[in-house]
Chain A
Amino acid sequence: MEVKKKIKRVIGLFAISAKMDLLWLLRDTRYALAGIAGEAVSNLSVVSGVWLIAIRFGGIGGMSVDEVLFMMSYSTLVTGLFILFGSGNNIHISRIIGRGQLEHLFMQPNSLKMQLITGGFVPFTGCSNFIIGCILLIVSITRLQLQVTLWWMVRLIAHLTATMAIIIARSYLVSTAAFYAPVEAEEISTAAIEGTWQLSTFPLSGMPAFIQLPLLTILPEGLMAWFPALCLLGKPPLNLTEYYPFAYALVLALAAKYFFRKGMNWYVTKGSNRYVPYGFRR
């Protein structure tokens, strides 16, 4: 019964986030549509830049043009999911912590976890990259003549989930700094995620191992699109198992959970004397 109530509440929270997003879009539709179009063009330009290089040179580092396109579609899908579910600073959590805005969340009669899962859902203003990603995926699958089975779809969803878990865990891990230094670390998750985001759209095939390995361990940009795309194409690189991203996501998520909980304890023990009113409600 309790679980049923929780599920109902989560669905309700997703629905109200979606409604707020739609009403925000309709507030000034011209500017909203211009923003959405701008974001889509920006993302397409990133994707097409790499793809055009691949066409010019007949592939990159052993990956064919269509394989590069497939990797780009995966990368666009990840960006799309990030925007679709993380537009309320719920992934860029250092902003909420650093601005002392966790208190807004404490006032609500729902667990923090539930609020953070549902609070950034923007299916209307944030869907463009996801849709483009889906289109690119279909085009690349067709060109590659991939056999799309149910098992392959499950693997795709699992890899996307692992990639999102890595992004979120990395953000929450570095964002713990905002508990201790709210002013200095307010934007640390932006720096951690978006500072190296561009790297994730480049095929690392053909690069020497001393470049590939750090990008699969210290900075997991290789796990954002390159590694999972090759796994889905049946060519896991560097003789690593296809399950490597899942193991990485698990370890990172556990570390993030441990340190974030410690930071949260610090926050409710020491308090935050830094409240910034902007940015909490759009």
Chain B
Amino acid sequence: MYHTDFAVNVNNVTKTFIQWQRDNTGKGLIRNLIKPEKRKITALDNVSFTIGKGEFVAYAGPNGAGKSTTMKLLTGMLLPDSGDISVLSLSPQKQRAKLMEHLGILFGNRTELWWDHPVIQSFEWKKVVWGIPDDVYKRNLDMLIELLDIGKLLKTFARELSLGQRMRADLAMMLLHSPEVILRPLQGSQHHKLRFR
């Protein structure tokens, strides 16, 4: 049973990974052939938290603390070993497609823009794939052009954008469908931002 008052509800979630290990000595190389050494990493150990609607939360921790794992669990890209997760009262595991209508996520090291098309064409693509109504699309596009100052980038091919310009265009694309929960992992840094409304 999920609580509808919360935007995010993470309950006793544990997630472990297995990492391959190998030292570069001759003995290590031979041992790797016969019986590879593996290490169990507990990325999340019985983690519980809730985030209410309208809250703005920074999710911080040292490298390897499980921040990206949490993001992937919240979006249904990974399954937990144990525990329950709900986002907007939806299960990321079982209702991923439905959840994605209301969730926006932008990983720093990847783009959702179409590489060989102008930015505006990627936005048009998203409008169709997400089924964004015309009025919502137009309103959000106008707002994002002003807020993120991307008016001059719309006709530019994504391939030609600088990193900063691409990030702004990606951010605008992420917001086009009025997501109710925004996950914004920052690459290589020790914090992630979550915004809920």
Q: Which residues of A contact B (CB under 8 A)?
A: 9, 12-13, 15-16, 19-20, 23-24, 27, 103-104, 106-111, 268-271, 275, 277, 281-282
When the two chains form their complex, are residues A13 and B121 in contact, meaning their CB atoms are under 8 A apart?
no
Question: Closest CB-CB distance, A209 to chain B, in whole Å?
Answer: 42
Cross-chain pairs A/B with CB under 8 angstroms, 7 sampled: A13-B128, A20-B114, A27-B116, A103-B72, A108-B130, A109-B131, A282-B114
When the two chains form their complex, are residues B114 and A281 in contact, meaning their CB atoms are under 8 A apart?
yes
Distance in angstroms between the alpha carbons of A24 and B159 in the assembled complex: 13
Question: Closest CB-CB distance, B57 to chain A, in whole Å?
Answer: 20
Chain B residues within an 8 Å CB radius of A275: 109-110
Per DSSP, are chain A's interface residues mostly helix, strand or loop, or mixed? helix
**B56 near A: Cβ within 8 Å?**
no
Chain B 7-61 interface residues, beta-carbon cutoff 8 Å to A:
17-18
Chain A residues within an 8 Å CB radius of B157: 27
Distance in angstroms between the alpha carbons of A228 and B116 in the assembled complex: 39
When the two chains form their complex, are residues B77 and A269 in contact, meaning their CB atoms are under 8 A apart?
no
Q: Given the interface contacts A109-B98, A271-B17, does A104 sit within 8 Å of B117 by beta carbon?
A: no
Q: Given the interface contacts A12-B131, A24-B116, A282-B114, does A109 sit within 8 Å of B121 by beta carbon?
A: no
Chain B residues within an 8 Å CB radius of A15: 128
**B180 near A: Cβ within 8 Å?**
no
Chain B 52-108 interface residues, beta-carbon cutoff 8 Å to A:
69, 72, 75-79, 96-101, 105, 107
Q: How many residues of B contact A (CB 8 A)?
A: 35
Total residue contacts A-B, CB cutoff 8 A:
80
Chain B 126-148 interface residues, beta-carbon cutoff 8 Å to A:
128-131
When the two chains form their complex, are residues A271 and B78 in contact, meaning their CB atoms are under 8 A apart?
yes
When the two chains form their complex, are residues A108 and B111 in contact, meaning their CB atoms are under 8 A apart?
no
- Our pick among B17, B18, B69, B130 for the contact of A109 (Cβ within 8 Å) is B130
Question: Closest CB-CB distance, B18 to chain A, in whole Å?
Answer: 7
Chain B residues within an 8 Å CB radius of A9: 131
Other than A12-B128, A16-B129, give 9 A-B pairs with Cβ distance below 8 A. A16-B124, A16-B125, A23-B121, A27-B117, A109-B129, A109-B130, A110-B129, A271-B78, A282-B116
Chain A residues within an 8 Å CB radius of B97: 108-111
Chain A residues within an 8 Å CB radius of B113: 281
When C-beta atoms are compared, the residue in chain A nearest to B19 turns out to be A273
Q: Given the interface contacts A16-B128, A107-B75, does A270 sit within 8 Å of B117 by beta carbon?
A: no
- Our pick among A16, A23, A106, A111 for the contact of B77 (Cβ within 8 Å) is A106
Chain A residues within an 8 Å CB radius of B77: 103, 106, 268, 271
Pick the 7 closest A-B CB pairs, nearest first.
A109-B100, A16-B128, A109-B101, A281-B114, A281-B115, A268-B79, A106-B77
Question: Closest CB-CB distance, A279 to chain B, in whole Å?
Answer: 9
- Our pick among B72, B117, B130 for the contact of A271 (Cβ within 8 Å) is B72
Distance in angstroms between the alpha carbons of A126 and B56 in the assembled complex: 47
| Residue from A9, A23, A24, A282 having most chain B Cβ neighbours under 10 A | A23
When the two chains form their complex, are residues A108 and B121 in contact, meaning their CB atoms are under 8 A apart?
no
Chain A residues within an 8 Å CB radius of B111: 277, 281
Distance in angstroms between the alpha carbons of A281 and B130 in the assembled complex: 17
- Our pick among A12, A24, A106 for the contact of B75 (Cβ within 8 Å) is A106
Question: Closest CB-CB distance, A132 to chain B, in whole Å?
Answer: 26
When the two chains form their complex, are residues A107 and B112 in contact, meaning their CB atoms are under 8 A apart?
yes
Chain B residues within an 8 Å CB radius of A107: 75, 100, 105, 112
Chain A residues within an 8 Å CB radius of B124: 16, 19
